[in-house]
Amino acid sequence: MQEDLWFTMGKIPARLPAGILYAKNHMWARPETGLNGNGLFRHGFTHYAILLMKDVYFLEWNISEGDPVSQSQEIGHIETSKAESGLYCPAAGTLVRFNAALLNDPSAINTDGYGAGWLFDLDAPETGYMNAEQYLKFLSDNWEKTQAMLKGKMNQIEDDES
């Protein structure tokens, strides 16, 4: 059995459970029973994303269950104590089901992101996802830019790279 990995954000550790997959938009994908010959993946926000967002207090969906979706398609909207943002699908497939309980009370995202705080189930191929080790490397490779963005210094980094 693989052990969970940890990514340290300054002094705050973010848990990356082993045995699940990760997307570049900081969602996890846990394989479930598939429907159409693809895999069915339950998705939620990673611990890393939850720590960055802080307190999620509003969530809504722009599409319906059963709708086909493309990768990077906006599928919803979220509001947190830090920002408002669109929610984007990590892979192409069919949106099978939303976690309806989150529409009335999204606090489970904050308290149980890998459990009761799951967002949606997507019937999709297993392409484009990373394992925990690959996601840890992705986080490490992008941490400097993330810190700069959090501190409002994104333009400075872009100027330095020119």
pLDDT tens for residues 62-108? 999 999 999 999 999 999 988 899 999 999 999 999 999 999 999 99
Domain boundaries, given as residue ranges, for the chain: 5-161
At residue 63, the pLDDT reads 96
Sheet holding 74-80, edge to edge: 56-61, 74-80, 84-88
pLDDT tens for residues 110-159? 999 999 999 999 998 877 899 999 999 999 998 887 666 656 544 443 44
At residue 155, the pLDDT reads 43
At residue 36, the pLDDT reads 54
Tokens coding 46: 């990673």
Kind of pairing between the strands at 56-61 and 27-32: unpaired
Kind of pairing between the strands at 12-16 and 5-9: antiparallel
Within 8 A by CB and 6+ apart from 7, the residues are 13, 14, 16, 48, 136, 139, 140
Going from the C-alpha of 11 to that of each of 6, 7, 51, 152, the distances in angstroms are 12, 10, 12, 20
Domain 5-161 has CATH 2.40.50.100: yes
At residue 39, the pLDDT reads 74
Q: What is the pTM of this model?
A: 0.84
At residue 154, the pLDDT reads 40
